[in-house]
Structures are given as structure tokens and as C-alpha cells.
Structure 1
Amino acid sequence: MSGLAGLLDDVRGRMRRHVDRVAGVAYREGMLYVAGLARGDMGAAFEVVFLENVMLQAATDEWQQAVAEKTASLLARKGWSDVRVVYAMDESDVETIETSLPMTTSADETKRMAHFEAARLLHSEPASFFSALMQASDGGQAVSVLEKERAEALARAFDAAGIALWGISAPEASFHLLCEGRALSWDGCRLPIADGLLDSDDAFHGWDESFSYALYGAILMVKALPVKGRVFPLQRVELSGWAYGRAALAVAAVWLVALLVVSAADAYSWYVARREAEQSAAELALLYGDTQRMEDARAENAWMDAQEQALRQLTDERSPAAAVLVHLGTQNADGVCLDDITLQQGKPVELKGRAVTFDALSSYVQGFERDRAFFPDGPLLRDSTRPDGDEAGTVVFSMELRWGKEQGDADGGT
């Protein structure tokens, strides 16, 4: 099975899986048989949940109404008023024709061919009957035909009783379900029986083989068992000929291919647009990063220029003390504390202070060694001792610094 026909079969299969309950009905020899099938918990397989049979004597010309009304009464008593129903007719109510059909690629095509082949052999209009295709005993095909007028009369009776007739079946005389403990069996397959129908010995003992007919159509419609047989879904036959069916199928296939092509083109365009948008976003992110770094560098340079200009202004002012003090503030080291600063015109700067260790003092002195631009002669460490010879005590130091302004003044005075 392939193409559009396969897609339609898949959709129909999904619709069947959405059916949770179905009732089968049969009227035989003055008895009405009603059987209910329902899915188990959590969408499990179908199982038989109830079996009811009652006597029903109906006039020959009113049997459809009597069957529909009694069925509605039994279903309402079970709480199954809104449920799909499949009615089983006697095998004598349908006509079966054995034929040989060519192999096709689709089950739907084979059924259409069988329908029009039956119309040709019966000299009837294709729209005047329902048909069902099944395997014949000799390995060929058999087409069963149900008059549309008879099916519609039965559907009107059920509709008047408030029941939707889903389909009609015609069980073969050889179809008999066997009751084996907790399940009904047929040809190696098993249909479970709900716990509510079982007796104390975990088995069902009230089985009547006539229920096989009632269950037959319901089993076929929901595929509860892999049984092939005669079932007629009550759907209108809208086919006027084999050529029309092929043409409609071809048009539908072309339309589907065109839709797929357009969808693929739209998907590709969307993919290209998305890639372009992602690439543009990445480029913008890189550009933003570069711009941000440039702004940061520009701000840092401006800050350094401002600091240099402020220091230059302080150096050029009449009072050199401010420039020296500001410059001393830029030289510091961890563990060093200044106790006294002596600054006199024309003399070196004298610093006195304490250091926690000689290493800390050394770091402090090296800072002035590197600052030859302001202290061209470097620092002169005059004293660095620990009071009272305490090896673990604070280091007391004193040092001199000759700075540029003071040096210039001294040179100018000589």
C-alpha cells in the first residue's frame, strides 16, 4: 500500500483507534443478542464487557423498528446510550459473487474494481448497493453485495430509536467463537472477557454461540481480531466509474506533491533567512565588542592624561610642597608607615617612618629608585634599625630624597 491511498488508510486506522466502545447486535430465531466491546484501562486491547439476550417477537414488516427500539432499551440500561452499533444480518440477506481481479498497488483500488465488477455481473447500478471484498475458498476474491435500500431502511429505524448505526455485517455460517475460560477464541486468536462476566472459578459459563453473530461486525470494525469478512460501513458510494476514480486519485496526488514542493521551498527560505540573521547577529556582537574596547581604552587614556596634567600643574606652581606631597602619595608599599616628612626650600626631602620588615622597607626604597624622573638622584637611606636590638620588632628608618624642583633651584643658586 502506498501513495495517497496508504495515507487515507492510515487516517482511517487512527480513527478506529479513537473508538473506545462498540456494540454488536444480531436478531435470530425470535431472540435479540447484544454484545458490548470496550477498551481496557490505559488504551489496552478491546474486551467483551457485556452480553445480553432477550426474546423479541416482531412482525415481518416491522422487525427493523422492533430491533432498534429493544436495542436502544438494552444499551440505555447499560449506560451505553451514546455508542456505535454494528448490526449483523443473516448470510442469506447478501449475495456473494466469486471473481478474479488483477493485482493493484492499493487495497482501495482493488475494492473499487470489485465493486464495479459486481455491478457489471449483476447488471445493477454501482450506487444501488454496498459491497465487501473478501478471499474466496479457492484463493481468489469474493464480492458480497448488500442492497442499499435495505441497509438504509435499517439505518432509519435505528436513527429513529436514537442510535447511530455504524455499519452492517453478514457473518459466514462457519464463524463461531469458542469460549475458553477467560477469552473467546477464533482461528488461534483470543478476545478477552472482562472480569465482571467471569464466575467464581475465573471462567465464563453463560456462553451462547449466537453471540458470535452479534460480535462479528463489531470485531471487524475495530479490528479486535485479525478476521477478514463481510462488513458494510454505511457510507455513501460516490464513484461513477473506474476512470473517474483513477483521475481523482491522480489529481489528489499531484496536489499533494505541489503542496510538499511549496512547503519545502518555504522551509528552505526560512532556513536561509535564519542563517543570515544569525550571521548578522554574530557580526554585530563582534563589532559591539570592538567598540566597547575602544571606548574603554579612550576613557583610560583620558584619565591618565588628566592625572599627568594635574601633576604637571602642581609641579609648576610656586609652592613645590604640594607637588612633592602628591608625588609621595603615589609611592607606597605594604607594611610601611611614614611618621614624619620634612620639606624645606633648597633642601632634600627628609622621610622618617617604620616598616614591619626589612623586605617591606626594601620594596619602598626600590619604588623611589625607579622614579628617576622626579627624584633623579634616587633615595638616600640614612638609617634602618630595630630598636633595642629586637630581631622581630619594627624597623625604624630615615631617608632623604633629592627631587627635581629642589635640584633645579639649587643649581640656579650656584
Structure 2
Amino acid sequence: MESSTSGWAGRLREYVFTTERAYLFVAKGPAAKVWHFIWQGGSWQKAAESTASGDAVYAAGEQEDGTLLELASQAAMEIAKKGWQDLPVVYVVPEAELIRYALQLPPDLSREEQREAAYWELDDKLLARGLSGEDFACLCQPAKEMDGKCLITAVRKGYLQAVRQAFAQAELKLVDMIPAGGEELQGPLNYLQNPQREGVGFCGRTGSELAYRRLLSIWLALLLLICTCLAALDVFAYQQAKSFAAERQAELVLMEQERKQMVELTAKRAAVERREGLWQQLGQQGISGYSLLVHLGTSIGDGVCLTRIHTGVEGEGILLEGQAVNYDCLMDFMGRLEADRDYFSAVNLDNSSLAKGKSGEADRIQFSLRINGESDEHGKARGKTENSR
């Protein structure tokens, strides 16, 4: 019986290890015999049997190489007819090629210790017959009909090698070789019903093998999972960095707006402070700022604008900076100032120059005028102005 598995551990073992569910057994007779066994309903069942039709196979010991090659060829033809080429093949060594001895061994020996003890016991037996134990492969199995004893079965290694070569030439998938078991099907049944098949066959084949393709698929799946996780982490980190960069960019835009507002407020504050300073300087020189603005406003004509008013130390007068469309407008402005003798005692042109216009604008005259503030009649003029108010 095959070893049963249950639970997740059993299912995992079935997935990781592969166990053959069908075997072909080839035996030597008058012609090659092929038995097809399958695992069905929890036990091994003989599904089919086929006997080769052709020339008889020679008996053991007669033209061994030709006999085995003819046997393998006949078996290959039968297997090809049935479509069993992909199934593993086990060769049943005939009784004529076997040497058997019964041996009493301690019950607590391991399988390797039993095999070692059987080999040395067999070597002694063979030496008595003039043979060498190194030329034989042996198996040690419990003898069912002899309590407490083991049955040692030996076969020539040269014979096993000849079988391998013959089956290889016939392109058969030979996986193991087993001794015949007395009755016709006893050898195959002993092999199939023992889950530890490495102790039943001369080739030492195990009952199960690692499923390399499945393990490779698991490894690839794990690798794909790891790569997917790493890629997901990279994408997540990229999205986090992108979000962080967007937040920083929004903060920078907001800070830039606040900076511009601060610059504008600073400029406005500076302008206000300059005007307050100008107002204070005018007051320190005894000049009424309000009267100055009124007289300048009434004197400015078309084509002239003032850009700045400077006040120097007392006695130096007031410096006016501005622009004029042309010199005629400038002279008209100076004439108006000179005509207001009740307020301005002197008007002098300090500097004038031609400024080129930008982006298609007309040229302008930049000028600076120096005027004296309130004259000796300042009190009278101011009195008149206040009375008019």
C-alpha cells in the first residue's frame, strides 16, 4: 500500500514530492512479458498484460547480450503498441540469475547496517563457491515464511549493466530492477507495496522524488512575489516623494506670494516713510508742505510730471526731479514757477538730458530744478492762502 497522507503536511508533501502512479514491469519468458500496474482506489491494480509475439527469448546463460537485447526490443514494440512510452519501466530479474540465502540478523539494525551485514555474509558464501562478493549486488529483505530471518538476494553486477545497455538501446525508460518473487506477479507486487522502494530494487530507486518543476515554479512565484512587493514599495515611495514634492512646491508658491506681498508692503512703507521724512524736513526748513504741493500743482502744465522732491539742508532750497515731453513744456513749467513770486523766489535748472523711450515710447526730457522755498513774503502769501481757505 502506498503511504497515506492527511492534513496540510501531507498535502504539502504530495505537492513537493512526486510519486509514480503507474509502472510497467518487463519479465523474461518464452517471449517478453509486459505488465501495466496503476494506482487506483487506494491500491495497486494490474490494468493490462501484454506478451510479445515473435522469436522466443533464449534461456539464461546462452548468448546473454543478444538475449537481453532481443528481450528489450520485444518489450519496446509491445510498449509502443499500447502507447506506454512515457511510463517508467521496471525489469524483473529471473530466478536463474539470482542467488538467495537466509540470514539471521539482529532486529535493531538499520537498513544500511542490514545491507552491510548481508554483503559480508554473502561475500563469505560466494568465496566458498569461488566467487567474489564485489561482483554482485545484493538486497536484504525480511523473509515472511522464516520468522526472524532476512532473505539475501544477489545478482551479478555485469548482468545488471547488460540489462541497462540493452534497455537503453531499445530507448526504454528503465528506472529499477527487482528480483522475481516465486509466483509470476509476486516480484512486482512486493515492489509496489513497499513505499521505501530503495530497499526492494537493485538500483536503489526511492519511492518518491522531489518535484523539481513544482519547486522551480514555487521559487519563481516567490521571486515574482518579492519583485512585486519591491516594485510596490518603490511605487509607494515614488508616490510619497511626488506628494511631498507637490506639497513643498505649493508651500514655495505660497511663500513666493507672501514674499511679493512683503516686498510690496515694504516698498509702500518705504514710500510713506520717505514722504514723512520729506514732510518733516520741509517743516524743519520753515516750509509748509501743504502750501508747496498747492503751488506746485497749480504751476505744472501739460507734458510735465514730477517724480521726486528732495529737501537739502536749510538754505539750499528744494530739488525737483521730473520728466517733460519736450523742452517747450519744461520751459513753460519753469516760467509758471517764476511767475509765482509770492512763493518761489528763484528757479534754477540744475540738469537736463534726453532719455530714449523703451518699447516704442517717445523720448523724454529728464530734468532737475532747484527752487527756493517761501520768500520774504512767505508770511503774507501763507496768510492769504489761509484766509482764502
Please classify the TM superposition score into its range, dividing by the shorter chain length: 0.3 to 0.5
TM-score between the two structures when normalised by the length of structure 1 = 0.40
Highest RCO, 1 vs 2 (Cα 8 Å, sep ≥ 6): 1
TM-score between the two structures when normalised by the length of structure 2 = 0.42
